[in-house]
């Protein structure tokens, strides 16, 4: 069995997920990168070429079988799953609520919320026999703060916080720690696309620090929570948002 501690990062091929992968590899973790973006394959190959341990598994987190296959790939490759950082998600359709179609709403719930449930379900099952594990769900400051034309996105992220609190209660006695982080505005392709579609977001996202985060700043919080520094932390939803939720 590989002696490195093993971690899954969903949405690991870009944005916050990629920053998490970079930080974890630098800390010596064996990383399973999950994404729909095939660029994750080249990313994993570059990590291996540099002496790190990484593999890529093409994954749609809204599909139960995909997530099951992902977790099995991580345990087959590295012997045990010690941690997961679940970043996979999509932005909303940038419409006021009454214009959002049921199909559009179902899609964001399927990926952001049901997808997180599926990830937690299979990751916890893999960790439970060892009574050793830590999971971070990447939610959003939008879980706590209303944003214009974003009710679909806000509700999907608020649901994640509920999942985390319930799961943390269920598995604390088994030494599994489950937390969420709530990023504010971050310089990622997804955030830029949502701001372009919904310019009103630009006015709400950068207060009070008057800047957006670098993805590495968000990744640092997630890596802290799955590492030794977060060993007595479970069930929290931690804003990493430059003060966005207090503004």
List residues with catalytic annotation.
Answer: 153
Task: Give the angle 219-242-141 at the CA atoms, nearest 5°.
Answer: 75
Straight-line distance from the first to the last Cα atom of the chain, in angstroms, rounded to the nearest whole number: 48
Rg (CA), the chain: 17
- Tokens representing 39 are 């660029």
Cis preceding-peptide flag for 208 (omega within 30 of 0): yes
**What is the C-alpha to C-alpha distance for residues 97 and 92, in angstroms, rounded to an integer?**
11
Question: For the packed helices 115-127 and 64-78, what is the interaxial angle rounded to 10 degrees?
Answer: 30
């Amino acid at each position: 069995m590989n002696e490195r501690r093993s971690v899954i990062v969903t949405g690991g091929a870009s944005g916050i997920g990629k920053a998490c992968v970079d930080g974890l590899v630098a800390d010596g973790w064996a990383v399973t990168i999950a994404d729909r973006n095939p660029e994750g394959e080249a990313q994993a190959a570059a990590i291996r070429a540099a002496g790190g341990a990484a593999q890529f598994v093409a994954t749609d987190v809204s599909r139960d079988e995909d997530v099951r296959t992902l977790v099995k790939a991580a345990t087959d490759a590295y012997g045990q799953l010690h941690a997961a950082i679940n970043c996979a998600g999509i932005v909303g359709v940038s419409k006021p609520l009454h214009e959002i179609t049921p199909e559009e709403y179902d899609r964001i719930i399927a990926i952001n919320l049901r997808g997180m449930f599926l990830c937690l379900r299979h990751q916890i099952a893999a960790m439970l026999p060892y009574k050793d594990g830590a999971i971070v769900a990447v939610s959003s400051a939008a879980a706590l703060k209303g944003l214009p034309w974003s009710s679909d996105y806000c509700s999907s992220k608020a649901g994640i916080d509920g999942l985390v609190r319930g799961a943390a209660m269920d598995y604390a006695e088994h030494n599994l720690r489950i937390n969420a982080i709530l990023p504010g505005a971050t310089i990622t392709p997804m955030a830029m696309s949502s701001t372009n579609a919904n310019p009103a977001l630009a006015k709400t996202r950068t207060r009070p620090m008057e800047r957006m985060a670098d993805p590495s700043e968000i990744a640092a919080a997630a890596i802290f929570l799955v590492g030794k520094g977060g060993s007595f932390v479970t069930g929290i939803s931690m804003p990493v948002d430059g003060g966005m939720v207090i503004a």
